């Protein structure tokens, strides 16, 4: 007898705050960034996102939740622009990774102060 598998919960779409970016940085995919399918590794997406956040903030805050939605892959030698947008009290950061204005990845990270 086959067992019915429960459906995964639906995750809300992460909002994109275009035109409100507080910081942006460009990256180019290197060979060491690739997985076995020759796409940018999931971990590298996260590295790029976290590297948009100022060091002083990272040293004084802790990440409490993170959501990332991959929309389109990034391949070897392609460039991408990574953006950071803060909410009003800097408790949530919103990120996009895009190429030629096409959004490839979006992320949302919630933060608490360590103080």
Domain ranges of the chain: 23-113
**pLDDT at residue 76 greater than cutoff 90:** yes
Tens of pLDDT, residue by residue over 17-27, are 767 889 999 99
pLDDT value at residue 70: 94
Nearest CA among 109, 115, 114, 106 for reference residue 50: 109
How open is the CA angle 54-32-94, to the nearest 5 degrees? Answer: 30
Q: Is the dihedral of CA 74, 76, 79, 84 positive or negative?
A: positive
Q: How confident is the model at residue 10 (pLDDT cuts 50, 70, 90)?
A: low
Number of continuous H segments (helices) and E segments (strands) in the chain: 2, 5
Residues 23 and 91 sit within 8 Å (Cβ to Cβ): no
Tokens at 18, concatenated: 């275009």
Q: How confident is the model at residue 2 (pLDDT cuts 50, 70, 90)?
A: confident
Alpha helix ranges (H) inside the chain: 42-50, 55-60
Distance CA(54)–CA(20), nearest Å, equals 17
Tell me if the domain spanning 23-113 has CATH number 3.10.129.10. Answer: yes
């Amino acid at each position: 007898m086959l067992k019915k598998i429960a459906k995964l919960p639906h995750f809300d779409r992460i909002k994109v705050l275009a035109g409100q970016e507080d910081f942006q940085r460009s990256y180019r995919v290197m060979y060491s960034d690739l997985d076995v399918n020759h796409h940018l590794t999931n971990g590298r997406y996260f590295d790029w996102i976290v590297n948009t956040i100022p060091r002083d903030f990272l040293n004084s805050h802790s990440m409490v939740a993170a959501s990332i939605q991959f929309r389109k892959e990034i391949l070897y030698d392609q460039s991408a622009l990574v953006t950071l947008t803060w909410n009003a009290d800097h408790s949530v950061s919103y990120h996009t990774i895009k190429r030629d204005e096409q959004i490839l990845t979006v992320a949302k990270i919630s933060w608490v102060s360590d103080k």
